[in-house]
Amino acid sequence: MRSKILIALLLVAVLVLTGCRHRNEPVADPAQEPQGEIAAKPSAGEPQPGEEPEEPLLPMMETSLSDYPLSTPTDDILVLVNKTHPVTRDYVADDLVTVEHCDQSVGNKDTKKMRKVAADAIEELIAGAKEDGFDIVMRTGYRSYDYQDYLFSSYAANYGEAEANTYSARPGQSEHQTGWCCDVGRPGYGLTSFDGTKEADWIAENCWKYGFILRYPADKTDITGYIYESWHIRYVGKDAAQYIYENGLTLEEYLGILD
Ligand SMILES: [Zn+2]
C-alpha cells in the first residue's frame, strides 16, 4: 500500500517537473509551422502556436472580417493596414524581393521577402546592429492572405478567436501582407524569446534610424489592438520613423486615424 502511494507521489512529481520545464522552453514560432507549403493544422489539444502571452491580456478590440470593407492598399509607404483597414485577398505588392539576412528555418520562400525599399532598409539595419555587436535576423516579412489565414486559424483553434485576435491578425488585417514590415529576432531563437533581450532594446532604440518603427508598443495596445511585440517593425521611411520615435506615437496616431 505504502509503495503504491510512493509511486503515485513520484508520478505527480515527474508530471509537475515536466510541466515546468516545458513552460520554460522557448515558445514555438507559428511561422515555423508551415514549412514550404501550408502544413496540416495542429490538433486542438496541442499548444503548438507560439506568441502565447503569459501575462493577463488587456481588453482588445475584436473584429470579424465583415466589420470593415476590404480595400487594395496604395503604394504609399505610410499605408495603414490594421483591424479596421483590411486589404483584399488577392493583394500582393509587385516589388517583393528576398531578404538575404533572414532566418532560413522560419516560414517559406515568400515570407523571406519584403518590398524592395524595406528589404534594403532591413539589410542596413542588420548591418548596423552587427557593427554595434548584435546579431539580428529577419524572421518573417511578407505573408500572403492565405498564409495569414492558416496562422490565425491555428491560433483560433487552440485559444479561441477572441484571444487569438489580440496577438494575431485575421487574414486581410495583417500588415505583413503589405510587405512593408517584418518580425526580427536572434538567429536560432524563437520569436517570443526576443522580449527583454539586448537585441530587442537595440531595435527599440535604433530601428528609427533605418526608417522602421516599433509597430505595437507596450503602452499603446488600446490603439493598435495588439499586445506588445518587441519583434515587429514596420518601414515608414526615415522622416516619419524619427518623428514617430521622438514623439512616442503609433502609426495610427501619426496618421490621425483612430477608430
Ligand atoms: Zn509581425
Angle made by CA atoms 80, 81, 83, in degrees to the nearest 5: 125
**Domain annotation covers residue 54:** no
Q: How far is the CA of 174 from the centre of ligand 1 (A)?
A: 8
Q: Which of 169, 176, 174, 181 is nearest to 236 (CA)?
A: 181
Report the C-alpha gap between 199 and 184 in whole angstroms. Answer: 10
- Per-residue pLDDT tens for 245-259? 999 999 999 998 755
Assess whether pLDDT exceeds 60 at residue 17: no
**Domain annotation covers residue 100:** yes
If one counts the domains in the chain, the total is 1
Q: How many other CB atoms are found less than 10 A from the CB of residue 55?
A: 7
Report the C-alpha gap between 82 and 169 in whole angstroms. Answer: 8
Catalytic residues: 229
Q: Residue 181: its pLDDT value, please?
A: 98
Q: What is the CATH number of the domain that holds 83?
A: 3.30.1380.10
Q: Residue 250: its pLDDT value, please?
A: 96
How do the residues of the chain divide into helix, strand and coil, expressed in percent and rounded to 5? 40, 10, 45
pTM for the model stands at 0.76
Q: Residue 75: its pLDDT value, please?
A: 86
According to DSSP, the residues that pair with 71 across neighbouring strands are 87
Residue 195's SS3 state is coil
Q: How far is the CA of 192 from the centre of ligand 1 (A)?
A: 11
Q: Which residue has the higher pLDDT, 144 or 166?
A: 144
What is the span of the domain harbouring residue 189? Answer: 65-255
Q: How confident is residue 166, by pLDDT bands cut at 50, 70 and 90?
A: confident
**Domain annotation covers residue 41:** no
Q: How far is the CA of 232 from the centre of ligand 1 (A)?
A: 4
Q: How many other CB atoms are found less than 10 A from the CB of residue 192?
A: 20
Report the C-alpha gap between 150 and 33 in whole angstroms. Answer: 10
Assess whether pLDDT exceeds 70 at residue 16: no
Q: How far is the CA of 218 from the centre of ligand 1 (A)?
A: 14
Report the C-alpha gap between 174 and 63 in whole angstroms. Answer: 13
Assess whether pLDDT exceeds 90 at residue 146: yes
Q: How far is the CA of 247 from the centre of ligand 1 (A)?
A: 22
Report the C-alpha gap between 25 and 226 in whole angstroms. Answer: 24
**Domain annotation covers residue 10:** no
**Domain annotation covers residue 179:** yes
Q: What is the CA radius of gyration of the chain?
A: 19
- Per-residue pLDDT tens for 81-118? 998 999 999 999 999 999 999 998 888 999 999 999 99
**Domain annotation covers residue 246:** yes
**Domain annotation covers residue 90:** yes
Q: Which residue has the higher pLDDT, 1 or 40?
A: 1
Q: Residue 133: its pLDDT value, please?
A: 98
Q: How far is the CA of 8 from the centre of ligand 1 (A)?
A: 45
Q: Is 97 exposed, middle or buried (0-12, 13-18, 19+ CB in 10 A)?
A: middle
Helix locations, 112-184, DSSP H: 116-131, 145-159, 161-167
Q: How confident is residue 4, by pLDDT bands cut at 50, 70 and 90?
A: low
Lowest mean pLDDT among 32-36, 47-51, 58-62, 128-132: 32-36
Q: How far is the CA of 176 from the centre of ligand 1 (A)?
A: 6
Assess whether pLDDT exceeds 80 at residue 192: yes
Taking all residues of the chain, what is their mean pLDDT, rounded to a whole number? 80
Which are the contacts of 124, defined by CB distance < 8 A and separation ≥ 6? Answer: 210
Report the C-alpha gap between 80 and 85 in whole angstroms. Answer: 7
Q: How confident is residue 2, by pLDDT bands cut at 50, 70 and 90?
A: low
Q: Residues within 5 Å of ion ligand 1 by Cβ?
A: 183, 232
Average pLDDT over residues 156-181: 92
Q: How confident is residue 15, by pLDDT bands cut at 50, 70 and 90?
A: very low
Lowest mean pLDDT among 45-54, 174-183, 228-237, 245-254: 45-54
Q: How far is the CA of 245 from the centre of ligand 1 (A)?
A: 18
**Domain annotation covers residue 42:** no
